[in-house]
């Protein structure tokens, strides 16, 4: 999963970076942030970026899923135009309310940060969970990570798809091959060669 945050692209064209990485990703989570903040941006900006991403995928005939971070309203507005669903954090809309709004076919993800939250997620109407931060990450302001071992345990406990998240790059993705999935932002968006970075991380996860 590519955590597509345009603000992380270091002045380069975010859509060119997205195109470069497409061959190695299965999900694009669109998550523009308010300027100078880790907080989500306004609905209009999230909507506009989702449309741009969907247009790029259509032009490339890429079947990766597009989901939006936090914004159930944007997911609902773009449901018929290529947005598959929403990823929800702990302080966002409750998963049940999102399901009621978006319907049974929408993809809904849920963030977890502890073993107890992973267990709770088993009974929620979500399609996958994110677990982390596995490593320290400046993007979300976590100075410490939970470690790869905690992610392995979470994967054993959770029966559905689990995406490791937080500080994952080419130096440590191989530790998560038993999980097989990761959500990655900076390590691809800020890479000198985003396509090569995405391909290498995928290779390590699949190993």
pLDDT digits (tens, 9 = 90+) for 158-181: 999 999 999 999 999 999 999 999
pLDDT at 34 (0 to 100):
67
CA–CA separation, 1 vs 3, rounded Å?
6
**What is the rounded distance in angstroms from the CA atom of residue 47 to the CA atom of residue 74?**
6
Residue spans of the domains in the chain: they are: 2-206
Query: Residue 60's pLDDT is what?
Result: 96
Radius of gyration of the chain (CA): 16
What's the mean pLDDT when you consider all of the chain?
94
What the block records as the tokens of 20 is 């470069």
Which CATH number, 3.80.10.10, 3.40.50.1100, 3.20.20.70, 1.10.10.10, labels domain 2-206?
Answer: 3.20.20.70
At residue 10, the pLDDT reads: 87
pLDDT at 40: 61
Are 136 and 167 contacting, i.e. CB atoms less than 8 angstroms apart? yes
Q: 17 and 189 in contact (C-beta within 8 Å)?
A: yes
The per-residue pLDDT for range 121-156, each reduced to its tens digit, is: 999 999 999 999 999 876 666 678 999 999 999 999
105 CB neighbour count, 10 Å cutoff:
8
Lowest mean pLDDT among 15-24, 40-49, 77-86, 161-170: 40-49
**Would you say how long the chain is, in residues?**
207
**pLDDT over threshold 70, residue 188:** yes
Task: Scan for tokens 């890479």, then name that residue.
Answer: 191
∠ CA 130-133-138, nearest 5°, is 125
Determine if residue 151 is left, alpha or beta; phi over 0 gives left, psi from -120 to 50 gives alpha, anything else beta.
Answer: alpha
Average pLDDT for residues 48-71, to the nearest whole number? 97
Give the torsion sign (CA, 200, 201, 204, 207): negative
For residue 58, how many other CB atoms are within 10 A of its CB?
Answer: 11
The answer, yes or no, to whether residue 104 has pLDDT greater than 70, is yes
Between vectors from CA 186 to CA 92 and to CA 55, what angle results, nearest 5°? 75
Q: In what order do the strands lie in the sheet with 27-30?
A: 2-4, 27-30, 65-69, 85-88, 107-112, 128-131, 162-165, 182-183
- Looking at the predicted structure, is the pLDDT value of residue 81 above 90? yes
Q: Compute the average pLDDT of residues 84-91.
A: 96
What's the confidence (pLDDT) of residue 41? 72
């Amino acid at each position: 999963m590519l955590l597509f945050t345009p603000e992380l692209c270091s002045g380069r064209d975010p859509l060119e970076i997205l195109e470069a990485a497409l061959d190695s990703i299965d999900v694009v989570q669109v998550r523009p942030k308010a300027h100078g903040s880790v907080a989500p941006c306004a609905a209009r900006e999230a909507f506009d970026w989702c449309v741009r991403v969907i247009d790029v995928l259509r032009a490339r005939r890429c079947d990766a899923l597009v989901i939006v971070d936090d914004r159930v309203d944007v997911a609902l507005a773009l449901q018929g135009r290529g947005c598959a669903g929403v990823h929800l954090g702990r302080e966002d809309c409750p998963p049940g309310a999102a399901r009621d709004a978006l319907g049974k076919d929408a993809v809904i993800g849920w963030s977890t940060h502890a073993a107890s939250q992973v267990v709770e997620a088993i009974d929620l109407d979500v399609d996958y969970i994110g677990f982390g931060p596995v490593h320290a990450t400046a993007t979300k302001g976590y100075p410490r990570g939970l470690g790869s071992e905690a992610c392995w345990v979470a994967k054993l406990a959770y029966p559905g798809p689990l995406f490791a998240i937080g500080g994952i790059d080419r130096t440590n993705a191989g530790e998560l091959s038993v999980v097989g999935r990761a959500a990655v932002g900076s390590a691809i968006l800020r890479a000198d060669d985003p396509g090569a970075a995405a391909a290498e991380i995928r290779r390590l996860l699949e190993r």
